[in-house]
Amino acid sequence: MASMRSRPGARPVVNPVAGESVPEIRAIFLVGFMGAGKTSVGRVLSGRLGWPFEDLDDRIVAREGRPIAEIFRDSGEAEFRRAESAALRELLGELRLSPRVVALGGGAFVQAENSALIEKAQVHSVFLDAPAEELFRRCEREQRERPLRQNAKQFRELYEQRRASYMKAKLRIETNGKDVDMVAAEVACSLVDR
């Protein structure tokens, strides 16, 4: 898929069938629940497209000067969401300068204010999905501290509450049974097929 490679500042994609220019995409945002593989797929996709990769959680940590778990513990979820929205606004403002592959934290796209901002930007949003049990197993394997992952029941209920919001993304990709390269290839192909 060498033809998918693209320079930062790539030109608008031309639909070869209609011959019409479709809006230039400035970023791919990977959304979905904890354990969906947003960061690992994002890194591979970034290599394929030649677009820099960014994890929104890393920007929050850098801006706040403390880890996510500490923000939740010391300031609570509402403060984390405020910091998350501020980081997202900052990032969206930078897309004019260079396109990007972005992994959002599991709750970011669920906030109506955030998804509305993303919808307005020239962004291709992709929901990486898998059954809640599989997502829970992946998080267990990763052993990263995730304040909103408590036990299997709570995890599944939160996933179910959020799923309708994730479905607002432009595309849903089932990741169960696929490796990271396969999922990244599907996302890359969806850019030309949109």
* Measured distance CA(22)–CA(14) in Å, rounded: 6
The pattern of x and - marking residues 37 through 56 that bind ligand S3P according to CB under 6 A reads -x------------------
Confirm or reject binding of residue 88 to ligand S3P (CB under 6 A): no
Options 106, 159, 166, 185; binder of ligand S3P; rule CB under 6 A: 106
User: E strand or H helix at 110, and its extent?
Assistant: none
Confirm or reject binding of residue 105 to ligand S3P (CB under 6 A): yes
Options 29, 45, 57, 169; binder of ligand S3P; rule CB under 6 A: 57
Confirm or reject binding of residue 68 to ligand S3P (CB under 6 A): yes
| DSSP-H helix ranges across the chain | 38-49, 56-64, 68-75, 77-94, 112-120, 132-142, 152-166, 180-193
Q: How far is the CB of 183 from ligand S3P (least distance, A)?
A: 15
Confirm or reject binding of residue 188 to ligand S3P (CB under 6 A): no
Confirm or reject binding of residue 146 to ligand S3P (CB under 6 A): yes
Our CA dihedral for 109, 110, 111, 113, rounded to 10 degrees, sits at 50
* Measured distance CA(58)–CA(63) in Å, rounded: 9
For ligand S3P, the binding residues (CB under 6 A) are 34, 38, 57, 68, 105-107, 146-148
